[in-house]
Amino acid sequence: MAGQARGKVTVDVEECKGCGLCVESCPPKCLELKPELNAYGVHPAHYTGHDCTGCGICFYCCPEPGAITVYRIKGKAKTLAATPEPAPVSGGEHAAAL
């Protein structure tokens, strides 16, 4: 995915079961399984360091509570173009008279 990352993922490698559900479910594909084994003998998930949208799908798919944490990066506030104020309506007029 192009554009600046809007999120960041941390994975507790000692909690990760290495099932790969987060890797498969990640829309921007910013997670991968490490080639190294953790203490349980599985390949834990790893954030590649870019393209995270902060959607949290990996967090919700993970069967191990606490293995994945998703952080949202605060971006700059978007400024909206100024819209002209509507003309004031004088009171007491019936719509049919307009």
The model's pLDDT over 3-14, given as tens digits with 9 standing for 90+, comes to: 677 899 999 999
List, as one string, the DSSP characters of 44-73.
Answer: -EEE-SS------HHHHH-SSTTSEEEEEP
Domain limits, the chain: 7-71
The model's pLDDT over 53-65, given as tens digits with 9 standing for 90+, comes to: 999 999 999 999 9
**CATH class given for the domain over 7-71:** alpha beta
Q: What is the mean pLDDT of residues 52-79?
A: 87
pTM: 0.68
